[in-house]
Every structure is written in structure tokens, then in C-alpha cells.
Structure 1
Amino acid sequence: MTLTADPWWPQAVLAAVLAGDAALSVRPPAFIRACLHGVGFPEDWWWSLIAVKLLAAAGLVAGIQAAGVGAAANAGVVCYFLAASYAHIRARFLKTEFWVNCLGMLALSLGALVVSYAPGI
């Protein structure tokens, strides 16, 4: 596994999607609210998800130039969405938000990790 993103564009796409997700989460639309309520995540802590997503996006962008940073950030994003998937399964909240949003983001983050970092294997 190489520690430099090659190609770099999947990291940029994932960073843009995470930044957009964070921006949407400032005033969450119905599908985000349903998702967070469905897994029982307290509203008082919703701000923390915005911070995590923005920091992850920044790490992905920084990692395009800084070897190792992007791989670590991308692995962290994968872990974040694995934890979110577990929360959905545990809460038995397996509606459209789980299949499209949660698993979709997990697939995107896994895809970015494999495309950008696995070719060197």
C-alpha cells in the first residue's frame, strides 16, 4: 500500500462530499434528522458530527500532498461509517436512510481508499 494518493481525485471527491454533508448538517434536512433520531443520537451532540466531517475533509485534502495523512484520514472515514452502520443495525433503523446515506457513504469512502491507495500493493 502506498502512502501517497494516486490518483488524487477520489480523495478530493470524498472530501467535497463530506464537506457538503457537514454543511447540510448545520441545519439538517428531514432525511438527516430522521437518520440521527432513528439511531438515538442526542441532538445536543449533533455539532460533533459536523466537526468530525470537516476535520476528515481537511485531512483528505491535506493528504493529497502529505504522504500518509490522506490514507489515515480515509481510513478514519471508513471507520466512522462502519460505526454509523453498526449504530443503525443495533437500533434496528434500517430504512432508506441506512441503505442510501450510510451504506452509500461507506461504499464511497471504501472505494476512495482502494482506488487511491491500493494500486501500489
Structure 2
Amino acid sequence: MILESSPAWPSLLLAAILLGDAALSLKPVPFIEACLSGVKLPKDWWRALIFIKCLAATGLIAGLWFPGVGIAAMVGVIAYFCAAAAAHVHAHFLGSEFWINCLGMLALSIGILVLTLALN
């Protein structure tokens, strides 16, 4: 059984949020810069995160036409934010950036996957 990304709005919402996050990361706004510096991510890697977020958004949108791709992209987004949470814990960087940005995005991503699966 291949799961579809329907209805479309949860995938589009998550894609829009990821693209907004990527746009804010082009010239990192203070809270994103604090987050990336706080987990001690080398500045050379910051651009890779923008690429990853754009690729995830592309997968979410492509999933509207190609069954299975959107669900796989959602799982990838969840894995991304699990890795981000692990980086925060490892760096002992557990301030508001961790609780609001990182875990907030993780909870949103999980919620969208659960909602999509429930409505499927």
C-alpha cells in the first residue's frame, strides 16, 4: 500500500514553513544564527541546511502528484528535526531556541504526518 499526501493542505503548509525557514537562513536572522552557533555547527555547513530544507519542501510538493514521495519527505523532515534535537542536547544548548524552534518544528512535523495518515 502506497500512502498518498492527501489532503494537500498539510503538505503545503509544512512545505511553506520549511521554505520560510530556508529563506530566513539565507542571511540568518538572530535566532537562527544563535541556534546554529549554539550547537556548534560549522559555518561552512549552514548553506547545506538551506539546501536540505528546500529539498524537503520539494519532496512534500512532489508528493501531491507522486504517491509515497510526500510521506517519505515528511519522515525525512522528522528525522532532520530529531537530529537537530540531538545536536542541541549534545551541545547542552537547551534554551528557548531548543524548546520553541527545534522541538516546535519537530512537533509540527509529527503532527502533520499523523494528520495526513489519519485523513488518508
Amino acid at match of 1:8: A
Q: Please tell me whether the aligned partners of residues 7 and 119 of structure 2 are also in contact (alpha carbons under 8 angstroms).
A: no
Number of the residue aligned with 1:3? 3
Number of the residue aligned with 1:91? 91
Percent identity of paired positions between Structure 1 and Structure 2? 57
Amino acid at match of 2:4: T
Number of the residue aligned with 1:45? 45
Structure 1 residues 1-121: aligned runs within 5 Å? 3-120=3-120
After superposing on structure 2, the runs of 4+ consecutive aligned residues of structure 1 that deviate more than 6 Å are none
The alignment yields a C-alpha RMSD, in angstroms, of 1.2
Amino acid at match of 2:56: A
- Partners in 1 of 2:20 and 2:41 — Cα distance? 20
1:37-59: CA deviation from partner (whole Å, max 9, x where unpaired)? 00000001100000000000000
Structure 1 gaps of 5+ residues are none
How many matched pairs?
A: 120
Give the TM-score normalised by structure 2.
Answer: 0.95
- Partners in 1 of 2:82 and 2:5 — Cα distance? 22
Cα drift, residue 8 of structure 1: 1.7
Structure possessing the higher relative contact order (Cα contacts under 8 Å, 6 or more residues apart): 1
- Partners in 1 of 2:108 and 2:53 — Cα distance? 14
- Partners in 2 of 1:84 and 1:94 — Cα distance? 12
